[in-house]
Amino acid sequence: SIEVVDVRPHERHYGVYMVRLEDGTERIATKNLTPGKRVYGERLIKWGGDEYREWNPYRSKLAAAIVNGLKLVPIREGTHMLYLGAASGTTPSHISDIVGEKGLIYSVEFSPRVFREFMEKLVDQGRRNVVPILGDARFPYQYAHYIKGVDVVYIDVAQPAQAKILADNADYFLKPGGYVMLVIKAMSIDVTAPATETFKQEINTLKERGYEILETVHLEPYDTAHAMVIARKK
């Protein structure tokens, strides 16, 4: 693979790094909380005595949003998050790197098969700031007893009515002043086409539930169907 010539902190985002390659291209990465361990076949980069994991925007919609210029990433050292739709933990693993030992990511996934893969990876890596929860995001009361207040609720469940599910979870778990992050089905492949009805409806639901939309970023070319929306309760 192409040699790394520089690693430096991202100008804007805490815990995100810019990796410059010999050919002049740049990638993003996070500092590996569990050195030596890969999560999804990503490249490990040793630099200045630390190890970084390349964060692939084709595999993680949050990475795609950051590469596409998302300004507001409300994730810091020590952030506590509720992550709905963890799948096998690709994006949660990078958030786990960012929030560090004092952070926590309650990660809900409802497919038992996918959840088992997620658990196996967590056990193998020894990531202690990720709390896996086998549960259905549509029914937050089912896992309410596991979770304390969080700073951020993130949703990527690839289901209709995500905004409602998000707001219902936020009602239970989001601390006052907290943020929500919503991966939403947005556009046709043509970026100049108007937003889809689904997109408008989801945004409306958030507004009706008292959220102010702070930022929206489309994920092309990494993902042709989705956008990332950041909002905050008014």
Which positions lie near ligand SAM, rule CB under 6 A? Answer: 60-61, 84-85, 87, 90-91, 108-111, 114, 136-138, 156-159
Q: DSSP letter for 43, please.
A: P
CB 220 within 8 A of CB 229: no
Closer of 7 and 217 to ligand SAM (Cβ):
217
Closer of 60 and 129 to ligand SAM (Cβ):
60
Amino acid letter for position 195: A
Report the residue number whose CB is nearest to ligand SAM: 85
CB 112 within 8 A of CB 79: no
Shortest approach of ligand SAM to residue 176 CB, angstroms? Answer: 25
Shortest approach of ligand SAM to residue 64 CB, angstroms? Answer: 10
Q: What does residue 12 show for φ and ψ, rounded to 5 degrees?
A: -110, -35
Shortest approach of ligand SAM to residue 198 CB, angstroms? Answer: 15
Beta-strand pair 44-47/50-55: antiparallel
The tokens for 98 are: 């960012």
Closer of 108 and 166 to ligand SAM (Cβ):
108
Shortest approach of ligand SAM to residue 139 CB, angstroms? Answer: 8
Shortest approach of ligand SAM to residue 161 CB, angstroms? Answer: 10
Closer of 4 and 143 to ligand SAM (Cβ):
143
Closer of 87 and 104 to ligand SAM (Cβ):
87
CB 22 within 8 A of CB 3: yes
Nearest to 120 by CA among 111, 129, 132, 103: 132
